[in-house]
Amino acid sequence: MIIVPESEIAGLVSAEDAFAAVEATFAAMARKDAYNFPVVREALGEGRQYGFKSGLDRAGGVMGLKSGGYFPGNAERGIPNHQSTVFLFDPESGRPTAMVGGNLLTALRTAAASAISIDRLARKDAKVLGMVGAGHQAQFQLRAAAKVRKFEKVVAWNLHPEMLPKLGAVAEELGLPFEAVPLERMVEADVIITITSSPAASLMSAHVSPGTHLACMGTDTKGKQEVEPALLARAKVFTDEVAQSVTIGEAQHAVANGSLAEGDIVEIGRVINGDHPGRTSDDEITLFDGTGVGLQDLAVASAAVDLAVTRGVAVKVEF
């Protein structure tokens, strides 16, 4: 069995590696070569959350789970509140093959999903990137998005404006002018990423211009919401997995109020496989509901194992 500690991930897995691994997984999901098992998520009390995301990718020969959760007392212990670890198994024999630190990988695979949606669905001439949210994930989202379009400017809004300068520093590092704006100015954006833990819609349909691509990445649990359902009704809606989109993703609200039909939501893997045209005009709105599936975690963890073995940093243990 191979162990790849959390401390090795930053030096091993690039945004490009994560993009390639997640794109292959979305494609396999749409071909039905890979599927996610039901998510387990439990509230442990005192704000602690713990659960499992798991799946099998027959095409990639990957099976396993991500065990993780949110432990708000960790800040006082000097460790991150979000904790996750990926366990991989041989799909033929069930023997454990690897244990991989999952904290940084979660940010990389989430940013990869959003970048894949931008790459596939945003207008080629997109110039202005709108960011709604400025927390931990936002900086990874911004970096990954900047790799797939030649943005000329970033406009950003966050409920807690004191968090924006940190995101501004990332934009500066990427050579992109950065402006903190009210939500109304998101109409200037060609691509908008939402990445907040909001329980109610911040971004309204009136804040979004025709032709925009949205990557809605923050809503990954029942009860969270980032955008007005009317926006999904106006858009062509794509997702990683339809079952998650309608239950824990952004589409849960539009489907519940009847403004979006489950059957109208398209898995992005179909676009990757060439089975769906994706965007077909410059003025339509496309929206990717990125809910975060277990197979994304397994894909990037598997890439981390391969890279660790190649570069001689994998820890091997008899098990």
Catalytic residue among 66, 124, 222, 316: 66
Contacts of 162 (CB under 8 A, 6+ apart): none
102 binds ligand NAD (CB under 6 A): no
CB 134 within 8 A of CB 168: no
Q: From its phi and psi, is residue 52 left (phi > 0), alpha (psi between -120 and 50) or beta?
A: beta
198 binds ligand NAD (CB under 6 A): yes
In whole angstroms, give the CA distance from residue 183 to residue 233.
20
In whole angstroms, give the CA distance from residue 45 to residue 47.
5
The helix (H) or strand (E) run that includes residue 6 is helix 6-12
Contact string 271-310 vs ligand NAD (x = CB under 6 A): -------------------xxx------------------
For residue 7, which of 97, 76, 72, 102 has the smallest C-alpha distance?
102
Q: Which stretch binds ligand NAD (CB under 6 A): 182-190, 198-206, 260-268, 307-315?
A: 198-206
Distances (CA, A) of 69 to 20, 41, 78, 108, 179: 26, 8, 16, 17, 33
Beta strand pairing status for 48-57 and 62-70? antiparallel
Q: Which is nearer to ligand NAD, 202 or 302 (CB)?
A: 202
Task: Give the single-character DSSP code of 163.
Answer: G
- Of the candidate residues 137, 225, 245, 286, the single one contacting ligand NAD (CB under 6 A): 137
Minimum distance, C-beta of residue 183 to ligand NAD, in the bound complex (Å): 10
Minimum distance, C-beta of residue 193 to ligand NAD, in the bound complex (Å): 11
Return the residues of window 160-179 that contact ligand NAD according to CB under 6 A. 160, 163
DSSP 74-114: HHHHTS-SEEEEEEEE-TTT--EEEEEE-HHHHHHHHHHHH
195 binds ligand NAD (CB under 6 A): yes
For residue 286, which of 229, 210, 224 has the smallest C-alpha distance?
210
- Of the candidate residues 54, 158, 239, 286, the single one contacting ligand NAD (CB under 6 A): 158
- Interface size with ligand NAD, residues (CB under 6 A): 25
Q: Which stretch binds ligand NAD (CB under 6 A): 56-64, 90-98, 155-163, 228-236?
A: 155-163
135 binds ligand NAD (CB under 6 A): yes
Return the residues of window 207-246 that contact ligand NAD according to CB under 6 A. 217-218, 220, 224
- Of the candidate residues 110, 212, 239, 245, the single one contacting ligand NAD (CB under 6 A): 110
Q: Which is nearer to ligand NAD, 160 or 311 (CB)?
A: 160
Q: Which is nearer to ligand NAD, 158 or 302 (CB)?
A: 158
Task: Respond yes or no: is residue 153 known to be catalytic.
Answer: no
In whole angstroms, give the CA distance from residue 144 to residue 148.
7
Q: Which is nearer to ligand NAD, 202 or 212 (CB)?
A: 202
Query: 3-class SS at 66?
Result: strand
- Of the candidate residues 31, 41, 58, 136, the single one contacting ligand NAD (CB under 6 A): 136
Q: Which is nearer to ligand NAD, 72 or 277 (CB)?
A: 72
* Residues identified as active-site: 66
Q: Which residues bind ligand NAD (CB under 6 A)?
A: 106, 110, 133-138, 158-160, 163, 195-199, 202, 217-218, 220, 224, 290-292
